Amino acid sequence: MDGECFSTSTHPSILTITEIHTLADLLPDAPKEILVKEKGFVASELVQLLKMAGFSVKHIWGGTAGMWKREPLRMDEMELMVVSTKIQDCF
């Protein structure tokens, strides 16, 4: 895809995964000068963010959109599904 790039940078205990592309890559009639920045998370980051937002994580499963399974997350999974419950208001 034109305009697509991946960047990873490390900081103590933080991994940043970012994908950047133009909005026109997603919507054909959109202006090409608008950039879309998508942030990815590893499972441990996502669990921490959910806990900070007042959620209790029940399960994390691996899979791909349209082929979800209730199976353990594999290291090569590009997508994951989290089942969580809101337990408190943090704000």
69 or 48, higher pLDDT: 48
Residue 79 has pLDDT above 90, yes or no: no
Do both 55 and 32 map to the same domain? no
Residue 3: give the domain boundaries: 1-40
> What tokens appear for 38 in the block?
């998508």
- How many domains does the chain contain in total? 2
Residues 68 and 50 placed together within one structural domain of the fold = yes
The CA distance from 85 to 79, in Å, is 20
Judge whether 44 and 57 are in contact, CB under 8 Å.
Answer: no
**Could you tell me the pLDDT band of residue 68, with boundaries at 50, 70 and 90?**
confident
Residue found under tokens 């921490």:
48
pLDDT recorded at residue 36: 86
Q: Has this prediction a pTM greater than 0.75? A: no
Taking only the tens place, the pLDDT of each residue in 33-60 is 898 888 888 888 899 999 999 999 999 9
Q: What are the structure tokens assigned to 81, written together? A: 């599904």
